Chains A and B, each alone.
Chain A
Amino acid sequence: MASHDHANDHAHDHEHHVENFWQKYIFSMDHKMIGKQFLITGMFMGVVGVFMSMLFRLQLAWPDEKFAILETFLGKWAPEGQMDPNMYLALVTIHGTIMVFFVLTAGLSGTFSNLLIPLQIGARDMASGFLNMLSYWFFAASSIIMLVSLFVETGPASGGWTVYPPLSALPQAMPGSGTGMTLWLVSMTLFIAGSLLGSLNYIVTIINLRTKGMAMTRLPLTIWAFLVTAILGVLSFPVLLSAALLLMFDRLLGTSFYLSDIMVAGELLHNEGGSPVLYEHLFWFLGHPEVYIILLPALGITSEVIATNSRKPIFGYRAMIGSILAIAFLSFIVWGHHMFITGMNPFLGSVFTFTTLLIAIPSAVKAFNYITTLWKGNIQFTPAMLFSIGLVSTFVAGGLTGIILGDSALDINVHDTYFVVAHFHIVMGLSAIFGMFAGVYHWFPKMYRRMMNKSMGYIHFWLTFISAYGVFFPMHFTGLAGLPRRYYSNAEFPIFDELQDINVIITLFAILGGLAQLIFFFNFFYSMWRGPKAPKNPWKSNTLEWTTPVEHMHGNWPGEIPAVHRWAYDYSKPGYDEDFVPQDVPLKDGEIGH
């Protein structure tokens, strides 16, 4: 043990220390446990978020029907089973908030960054276990506050997940802008704090704690994706924090950052000189990078899963890194494409059209590289692989409509219609959730030391994949008919009468998709306790996490941390009998490494 680094010592301190229940499961500082905490919390929030979408889909498909289930869950907000319009807006708002931030940011990035960064770079733990623990607990507190906000008298925040002021700033404008909105802001403030602590930790760990031989150019693409995601988070989340704080000042202290010349509910307000457009700029300066904070980890996971299960190196490793970096860089200069018609100077519209459409280039490179990785592979259809292929399909299907929406002239007429809803759910919602499922199926043995049931995984995938397209593909057509999003009912516009059949189809697929997730949850919890014991390297994978013992231990490796001699993608390399060569296997004489 010549090379004693800090993390090494740290592991030794804990070696003979028996932990009690609280230290092990609740206030854990072990990255594997924290990753699992993020996953379970994220899954719970996912159930809440998806269930809300079922409720408002019922309303959209059958606006005149009364459903007893609505009154059961919504109480006074659905008297006799007829949903209140304010509750409809509350549901879409909290659905969006929960899915974007709590499930696909914390649940996805939080889970897999924590689980995989130390294991795949060869580190004993995160750079700071304590900050890591705080990161989770900030997230947990913010989740609890967000859930509590559902129960306040005037209802939760209802101004859409973007909570544009003045609507969100004025309690007189809608019930949801009362206490519910204050709690939303408090919750998001804590969320951002937690996210920043996590991101800083990820960056420091990846830069400093890589094992011997793990050059940046040998990192698995998962780690590259987590690194870039964390950098995006550190640079953009503080801007949302400032936007939220200013909004809080406007609400509670009577300042006028976003408010000017307003009369609401017959009352003239004193505010003067502020601009809601300022909020929109601040919000989307986070909001657009946020899309990639969600998407990049999913793409990273997919890179790993597709390479492993195609039994081939990922095609164009360096181009993949380059495209991640290009997407990340561009994501900071495209936020205005959410604001083409806000009254922003039209010249800015041109600039943002230009930068936005450029993103299609690195995205296309990624899609083509995934497909070429499949070419002449020996594809093993694990459930994780199915979800990864599903991701490539939705990433392409949703990404293509981005070429329409990023074009300011075309955005005029589909802005805020169901065409947009279809676009972002497919490209970001579905792709990211598929990436998350792929990650869970693939690394479940690493997390819970047991295997998930493959056949149930197959059924889960196909039902999910079919219903996902069944829900979101038809939405393009209602959007092209001009149907705006966030409408409680279309019945006031005879011109939309013909769209009702499509709405029913969408809702039926949504219910099917929602029910299909029960299969996943059953498989997950059953396998956690009763699944067959996992072998050390079930997918015959090259990365370092599969060199650790199946039983979890502090410090990850019982002896020395293995040194790395090659990149992560030596699958089916000529000259080897096995179709995989783990990263810790030294190069043979004369072998050319990466």
Chain B
Amino acid sequence: MQSLAQVPVVFSQVFNYQDHGLITETSRGVSALPPLDAHLAAWKKLDPTLARVGLIVGAGHESLRTEAEIAAQNHGVELRIQEAGSDQETLYHFKRIIHEIDGFWLFPDNRILSPRVLTEILQQANRRHVPVAVSNEAMLQLGAAISVSTIPSDIAATIVQVLERIRAGEIDTVPPMTQLSEVRVLTNDALMKPEVAAGTAESGGKGGSQ
């Protein structure tokens, strides 16, 4: 990135971009996650009874937390956010909030997740019939209930959009991270509530962008 200091750079698919110093004067990012509002809207649409959602995330994601809180407020969901510093702490907090939530929003923060903890979270959530929402369709195999993921064409279009604005000299007006606009929703019907599973359909939706 330093060697590319004068070259405008657009990055994408990096969750912990702040740890790598990817935001500079000439670099901008496209969000790795689908728009959280759309994510929550899709989840809420699938499960209208969703009322309390738990979220554990590592340090340095204040904007993400804000976005999640706004999305929760928009959709009438109470959001329980806990910050963790390690996978052990993630599991520790998860065990404490699992009894108070209707769903768990798993953000892909690799710093605070490990295979063991992932497995443990998904097993415990399944035992308690607490659906886990993820941003990766592959996680459905491990026990996640709903996947709201980005669409490659949307990622590509958003990247192109940002590139064009940068080329047009509007880099200063381009936010550090541009939100995606589309989501792809997939569910693991076996882990959804029966009434929810009956109404599940693959859907896409336009989400807002920051």
**Bound pair (A, B):** no
